Structure 1
Amino acid sequence: MLPQLARAARRILTSASIPHRVWSVRNASCDKPENLAAVLCAVNDLRVEKRPMPPEPKENQVLIRMGSVGICGSDVHYLVHGRIGDFVVKDPMVLGHESSGTVEKLGPCVKDLKEGDRVALEPGTPCRMCSYCKEGRYHLCPDVIFCATPPVDGTMCRYYVHTADFCHKLPDNLTLEDGALLEPLSVAVHACRRANLSCGTRVLIVGAGPIGLATICAARAYGAVRIVITDLNTHRLEIAKKLGVDATVRVCEGMEETQIAAEVQCQLGGPAHVTIECCGTESSIKQGLLATRYGGTFVLVGVGTDNARLPLTPIFHEVRFIGSFRYSNAYKDDGLWKKTGHNS
């Protein structure tokens, strides 16, 4: 399913026959721009369709010509299953929320951006009025409008209108691809914040998918002294080594959670002060809890199951079990740029 999504994204964002400048809405002499989009019509039914051009940007909105859109696990989940938890695709929906592009047109009240600016799109626009928003935890806003979360269309299209203050200008030393990757990196940064991760911490990361790999970078930047990551996939573990993880543990079929936890503790030099779980399956949550130091912190990032049977002994021994949902105030955090290896 991933190649199918990738082919659709390439077709939308590139063209062999139409120069990129023809798509610019600023050039009135060019052909009328087309807004191709990757539309999920039903389970395993993904189509590249021409969508109407977005409406004129409102007061605090900008029109973006999309440049780079990542494929998230949620996109694949919607494609294969048609739902994630309570979010069910009932009508055709454009996929994509890890994205960046170039500002084409400004709404009348936009002051901090200009046409031609390259921006990373933070995909959730909150209500700004509820208690969560006023506390700065706008990612928990019950009325947030989040790209590619039913029934809201996503950004895997050529043109998209988005709230201006959730479009973050990229410095010159970041590419549009870097800009799209700020979204999964923000998930990792938020997880490290939730764990209060600090210097000298031993960290276990469960799962070496994109979020787990991003968490290696974030955890190191927050001061982790030793990091171990687990996964079933040897290729992912090899990538983790290139990113500077201290040790890897390959989980093989039939291994008991206690056996995995013991191997992790051996590689870490003791139980994990912080465990960040990036899979969401019952077995991975179990192995992470069992590998965590009494009095330590377990952060659940992965979304894989609604119900799980978990060992309570770590909880009785004051392991803090914390959820981590999306992110807030990460794109504007100066530390986020440093965690990418760039300075703004």
Structure 2
Amino acid sequence: MKALRFHAAKDLRIEDVADPPQPGPGEVLVENRFCGICGTDLHEYAYGPIFVPKEPHPFTGAHGPQILGHEFGGVVRSVGEGVSHVKPGDRVSIQPLIMPRQGDYYADRGLFHLSSDLALAGLSWHSGGMAQAALLNDYNVQLIPDELSDREAALIEPAAVAVYACDRGGVTAGNSVLVTGAGPIGILAAMAARAAGASQLFISDLNDTRLHLAKEVLGEVRTINPKSERVGDVVRSETEGGVGCDVAIECVGNEHALKNGVDAVRKQGVVVQTGLHPGESPLKWFDVTFKDIDIRGSWAYPTHYWPRVARLIASGQIPASKIVTKLVSLTEAVSEGFDQLLDPAGKHLKILIDLSR
């Protein structure tokens, strides 16, 4: 079968690889339909290996070259012994986190996403979404409702990141929320905040094109470019009492965006760090203490989120498909997908690979 494999930074190759074997006990073979190109995939392409193991992964044994893609869905082709929740022909979305199911401190408490042995399909597993098929554990394969399209099945994973960020921030009805970063996760976080009841949305980004796209997708949202406006000043001037927003969600992994969140949030507000920072990010810790605020990390998502997020998308409460700006074939994925998304002046948000093309 055809697959897109990561070999090294700036070295992605479309290759003929062996078809996955027939599923064993507790396994499911999926014919992939659509796969999203994630920011994590872009970082691997530009600077990797980062999450792709150089040595065999301690739990899965996987290492490079690696089939990429962890935002994907498809159709069940066959199932192994003991699998009863899906059957051949079922349309599914892939929850890509792979980890010990027991005997691990966090797994034993249902916090699978926090396992120290965590692996991901498409980064540290033998299969990934940027191929014609993938062999997965039964718990990775989630049935989707009829109302959900095949494209939307590939958007549950990034939407789950956004929903969890809002949950970590405690976003609730009537809140004002600032999202820093108008990329796919940032816009999905704004959608998730609105679905949770937020009544006032702000979103900041240095890219005016992305801010324009955010306005088109989200409708009533205050866009802010930090190059021309001070984020905190804008948020304070437009929130009740001039105190700032209730919750700030950082979706960039940039120290200036984090500082803007700390500045913009009101006293006793919450800052949620979702973007992955490459290094240390100094803050004004006096402000953290003086404002009595919480700063919380948000890593991935609990694995049981899939049905909830699927319902939010299928119902239209999170219109995730609006972030998709382009479809490409697997053979076009590098030049028309990865390279375009890495263009600082790029015009795209989310690019999906159509594995049927």
Structure 1 length normalisation: TM-score?
A: 0.83
The residue aligned with 1:21 is none
| Superposition pairs of residues 1-344 of structure 1, within 5 angstroms | 35-84=1-50, 91-129=64-102, 130-150=104-124, 153-242=127-216, 243-252=218-227, 259-269=230-240, 270=242, 271-316=244-289, 317-334=291-308, 336-342=310-316
Amino acid at match of 2:47: H
- Counterpart Cα distance in 2 of 1:148 and 1:331: 20
Q: CA deviation at 1:53?
A: 1.0
- The 1:238–1:341 alpha-carbon spacing in structure 2 relative to 1, beyond 3 Å, is farther
- Counterpart Cα distance in 2 of 1:313 and 1:76: 35
SS where residue 84 of structure 1 aligns?
coil
| Gap regions ≥5 residues in structure 2 | 56-62, 318-357
Q: CA deviation at 1:91?
A: 2.8
- Counterpart Cα distance in 2 of 1:208 and 1:303: 15
- Counterpart Cα distance in 2 of 1:313 and 1:178: 43
> Does the 8 Å contact 1:37/1:49 carry over to 2?
yes
SS where residue 58 of structure 1 aligns?
coil
Q: CA deviation at 1:333?
A: 4.1
Amino acid at match of 2:66: M
What RMSD, in angstroms, separates the aligned Cα atoms of the two structures? 2.1
Amino acid at match of 1:191: A
Higher relative contact order, structure no. (Cα contacts within 8 Å, ≥ 6 residues apart): 2
Structure 2 length normalisation: TM-score?
A: 0.80
SS where residue 227 of structure 2 aligns?
coil
> Does the 8 Å contact 1:173/1:342 carry over to 2?
no
* Deviates further, 143-152 or 227-236: 143-152
> Does the 8 Å contact 1:228/1:268 carry over to 2?
no
The residue aligned with 1:10 is none
- Counterpart Cα distance in 1 of 2:223 and 2:314: 22
- Counterpart Cα distance in 2 of 1:151 and 1:53: 15
Amino acid at match of 1:312: W
SS where residue 224 of structure 1 aligns?
coil
Task: Kindly name which structure, 1 or 2, has the bigger radius of gyration based on alpha carbons.
Answer: 1
* Deviates further, 325-334 or 221-230: 325-334
| Gap regions ≥5 residues in structure 1 | 1-34
- Counterpart Cα distance in 1 of 2:254 and 2:110: 30
Q: CA deviation at 1:318?
A: 1.7
* Number of equivalenced pairs: 305
